Amino acid sequence: MSAASRVYCALVHHPVRDRAGATVTTAVTNLDVHDIARSARTYGLRRYYVVTPIEAQHVLVQRIIEHWTTGAGRKRIPERHVALALCESLPTLELAIADVERREGMRPQLWATAARSGVDRPVTRFDEGRGHLASADHPVLIVFGTGHGLADSVLQVADVLLEPIVGAGDYNHLSVRAAAAIVLDRLLGAGRDPAASH
Amino acid sequence: MSAASRVYCALVHHPVRDRAGATVTTAVTNLDVHDIARSARTYGLRRYYVVTPIEAQHVLVQRIIEHWTTGAGRKRIPERHVALALCESLPTLELAIADVERREGMRPQLWATAARSGVDRPVTRFDEGRGHLASADHPVLIVFGTGHGLADSVLQVADVLLEPIVGAGDYNHLSVRAAAAIVLDRLLGAGRDPAASH
């Protein structure tokens, strides 16, 4: 079983930071559900959890998933159901971890991403993370934060904290949709290794 | 002047393909304007053109830009105006090329991206493109297509056709927001070269 087939991701809406650093709950964005499901499918992830404690948002996520997997959307854009079928919403990150453990028979490593540096712990470079995934004997759950990023309480319990994405300068206000795509490509994309690109 | 400071991008809504391969015009998606502007800013691009022939869509794009650059949004999320300030809408790709030429005193190379292979011309690998950008003595305009991708008429006039993004298998139905982020990261991201990542 390849490493990629044991990678999962979660998009966390609580606990995340607001601009001032306070812990808040963000609202689910429709396109986050789509885009990250499609990226997760493209990079061979096994499951994509939308984590929110708000009950009404589970209904929203479920409606989006159903539209594309069994509803009118499936007819119009059939390849999308393959992506959306990976997705489910859960009220807490702990339940996402438990779901991976149930499926894999083993607790996943928690890999967190953070746009800000300055978190008081060492970070793992993407090339190291990539090498690790290629030979990992355990499942991995990659956690993305909405708002202004994952709360410290998540970063502190993560087994791996990935380095921030660096573009061409100091500005790194990527959307979480873009950041998730880049993280998955850096860790799992075939185009990154010259030897594997053809 | 670094290569990255002479890179531009365009998001094309016409001419693009629909599911059946016919040439159509797609509608502008609000989040495409935001997300790709933020990615363009993160990777040091100089300008981001939203190309659409529909007059009413220029009003929409202008309203989004103004909201974040001079309107209420600037106060709430100040870093976003730095990204949105890169963006403008133009009716044709030719006008985007002309705008780059006016700014740079030199016609840009046109680099196109395509999710599908099978276009009857050689493709350039991302690592080759990355090497080329690092030493280019001309501006480059990277062109992304909405819908089901750029029409053949655009692919045929492109100076460079980048290879499709390969994830972990055959599925590559990425959103254009995710694909654009990955393309910019593969061509310009600092994290890609182990030597440059710290």
CB contact (8 A) between residue B38 and residue A190: no
The residue with greater pLDDT, A48 or A166, is A48
CB contact (8 A) between residue B165 and residue A175: no
Is B75 an 8 Å CB contact of chain A? no
The residue with greater pLDDT, B62 or A1, is B62
Q: Is the pLDDT of residue A139 over 60?
A: yes
**Cis, bond preceding B122 (omega within 30 deg of 0):** no
Report which of B124, B186, B175 is spatially closest to residue B145, judged by C-alpha positions: B175
* Residues in chain A, total: 198
Q: What's the mean pLDDT in A58-67?
A: 90
**What pLDDT sits at residue B138?**
95
Q: Is the pLDDT of residue A119 over 90?
A: no
Q: What's the mean pLDDT in A139-148?
A: 96
Let me know: does A33 contact A133? Beta carbons within 8 Å.
no
Handedness of CA A157, A162, A163, A167 (dihedral sign): negative
DSSP state of B43: T
DSSP state of A144: E
Please state the ipTM of this predicted complex.
0.92
Distance CA A189, CA B115 (A): 14
For A186, the closest of B174, B179, B191 (CB atoms) is B191
Name the stretches of chain B with pLDDT < 70.
1-5, 117-119, 191-198
The 3-state DSSP class for residue A12 equals strand
For B182, the closest of A4, A79, A182 (CB atoms) is A182
